[in-house]
Structure 1
Amino acid sequence: MNIHPFSHKILNLYSRFFIYFQAILTYGSVRSAARHLRITPSALTRQIQNFELNIGVPLFERHAHGMVLTQAGDILSSHIMVVMEDLKRIENRILALHKIKDEKINIMVIESAANEIMPYVINKITTTYPTIRLQVNTGSSKEIFEALHAGYLDIGVALNLGEPQNLKNIISQPVKMDAIVHTKHALAGKKNITLSECVSYPLIMPSSSLSLYKTIYPLLKNLQENLNIRMESNSIDLMIKMAAAGMGLAFCSRLTTISTQEKEDFIRIPIQNKETRTLLGVYIVKDKQQTYSVNIILQIIQNYLNHNFKSI
């Protein structure tokens, strides 16, 4: 990598100067900073002047009452604050590595989250934190709720649990809903649709054990009493496959349809109705002391959602 001459000069002086510059900012004068560093004021002054000579601009204005930052000095000061914060984060991560024990973390997730989020989490954990062992199972939001309350889980990832008693909602991510139809379906050419358009066609519905059912079924029933339901299932993948086979119109959260490879004959159409939006929640037991391993996994999930679901 080629380094610009200006950058090269700074790199040669940076490590020692960093300490000296920060000391002057902290103690307000060369004399006080030198006393803290246990060097002479003249030695400290030479270091500052040498750095200023190399970058071609002054960093301080010298006054009788102390040192005042110039505009260039203020820029450097802001940079140092960022570097200090980064160093602290790095230090905490390294310290955490020593505190992570060989332990097993039990996680239960809804099917869509298992397909979308967990491959990333598992890969991150196995490559970066090999002492953490994961037990990952899928289940309905109800099953996740019950397993957390029973103390079987360290982390639960579910839809629409809200703020249950004794559980803490660490992460809450809004997720939109799509309609899944065959490429030759009458609605296939639309960029978005409403639920009132959907009820005119045969439907593939989630079974009552899925949280998706609680979101979509009452809304559809309010629009049309007698729904043309061709099939019900507790499998998201099966519902998508049946829609792809032309059996009817299915519903899936965007969390599911993002991960689905559209190699089959179906398309997804965003649903406009705001009330169809769901909340993906990541939960832990409220009063349970969390280990470093659990906190690391929660952070990895949060990072993934921040990066992949900003616009959802």
Structure 2
Amino acid sequence: MHLHSRAIIYFDMIRRCGSIREAARRLHVSSSAVNRQLLQLEEELQAPLFDRLPTGLQLTPAGEVFSRHVLTVLQDQHRLASELGLLRGVHRGSVSVAAVEGLNADILPLAMRQMHQRHPGITMRVQTCGSTQVVQALIAGEADVGIGFAIERHEHIRQCALRSFGLGAVVPGAHPLAGRARVTFADCAAYPLILPTPALSIWALLQPVMRHFKGRVHVGVEVSSVELGKNLAAQGLGVFFQSRIGLERDIAEGVLAHVPLDAPQAMLSELGVYVRAGRALSPALDAFLQILLQVIERYPQPADPEAVLP
């Protein structure tokens, strides 16, 4: 079996677009050329790779298997080019990141600044999405590294690091709870609450205590965005709950306070860093991972409440 690189590239674009016509448009070739390559692939593999549906093309089981092979080939090709570039002294390449919203405030900017300082020739691409989409982006080959909260084990992704961050009450700097060392949920329930929807991993952490306090709290707003939640808290609309991740600047400026929750069972939000399983890391990706993990390691664990944030 001999698979041509053009056929692999065409297949991958069809997979991404779900349409031969759109794949052809992005590749700047004719639809017939793309279709011809696909038919040749299916004939050589002796299996249909896509189901032709009214809504577009969808991978068959054989297509799913082949797509994993294609992603490995394309990523290895990228890694080879990067390593050859390093041998020539040309520090070029790219790293694609899929990360949850809370990392945009501090962790990602810090890591990317250090990456730019050490490796200015590396291009960074960042996609902000939910934790579920982080996994999907890794599996689909749309991201080299994924960072998210409460990501479950998956056979197609590999965990590089995991850190736990305690949940706390987020209130304005002048709020009555802001000066406390710790607060209970009952303390917070004396005020309107800003709660997450199931789209956020914080929702699952709060469910046990919410069931206990059912009917005894006033929920002012429900949000599917941590950025919106903290901004509403800053405006005095209620008490929000999250880890300190994403609040660094607001805490430093006194706009918000993060008060650890005192609960019978620790409420820990787990931040994980992931890559696609079975892939070799390019020099650019390996360099960024080292920097990213160093930045994350500087953040205090729940057992270190007095530690100073970077």
- TM-score (ref. length: structure 1): 0.63
Match of 1:270 among 235, 256, 260: 260
Q: Is the 8 A contact 1:100 1:292 kept in 2?
A: no
The structure with more helix, counted as a fraction of residues: 1
Does residue 231 of structure 2 align to residue 241 of structure 1? yes
Offset at residue 260 of structure 1 (A): 2.6
Tell whether 2:283 aligns with 1:292: yes
Alignment of 1:135-150 (within 5 A): 135-150=125-140
Deviations 1:196-218 (CA, angstroms, capped at 9, x unpaired):
332343111122222222222x1
CA RMSD of aligned residues (A): 2.4
Residue 295 of structure 1: CA displacement? 0.8
Contact 1:106–1:135 (CA<8 Å) still a contact in 2? yes
Tell me which residue corresponds to 1:198. Answer: 188
Please list every run of 5 or more consecutive structure 1 residues that lacks an aligned counterpart in the other structure: 1-94
Instruction: Give 1:187 deviation, angstroms.
Output: 2.9
Q: How many percent of aligned residue pairs carry the same amino acid?
A: 23
Residue 102 of structure 1 pairs with residue 62 of structure 2: no
3-state DSSP class of the match of 2:227? helix
Letter in 2 for 1:205: L
The one-letter code matched in structure 2 to 1:287 is G
Say if 2:218 is the partner of 1:225: no
**Aligned residues of 1:175 and 1:254 also touching (Cα < 8 A):** yes
Q: What are the Cα deviations for residues 62-110 of structure 1, in whole angstroms up to 9, with x where unaligned?
A: xxxxxxxxxxxxxxxxxxxxxxxxxxxxxxxxx9954775222110111
Offset from partner CA, 1:150-204 (integer Å, 9 cap, x none): 2211000001114322111101111112201234544344220122332343111
2:180 pairs with 1:174: no
Q: 1:135 is paired with a residue of what secondary structure? A: strand
The aligned residue for residue 308 of structure 1 is 299
Instruction: Work out which of the two has the higher radius of gyration on C-alpha atoms and give 1 or 2.
Output: 1
Question: Aligned-pair distance for 1:126?
Answer: 1.5
1:266 and 1:154 map into 2 onto residues whose CA distance is 33
> Residue deviations 1:190-249, cap 9 Å, x none?
220122332343111122222222222x13322212342111223323222221222111
Question: Is residue 100–residue 128 contact of structure 2 (8 Å, CA) maintained in 1?
Answer: yes
Q: CA deviation at 1:258?
A: 2.7
- Check conservation: 2:250, 2:256, Cα contact below 8 A: no
Q: Distance in 1 between matches of 2:145 and 2:218?
A: 38
Structure 2 stretches of 5 or more lacking a match?
1-83, 306-310
- 1:100–1:277 Cα change, 3 Å: farther
Letter in 1 for 2:193: L
Residues 1:147 and 1:212: Cα distance change in structure 2 (over 3 Å): same
1:155-174 to 2 correspondences below 5 Å: 155-174=145-164
Helix, strand or coil for the counterpart of 2:288? helix
Q: Secondary structure at the match of 1:269?
A: strand
| Alignment size in residue pairs | 217
The one-letter code matched in structure 1 to 2:229 is M
Aligned partner of 2:45 in structure 1 is none
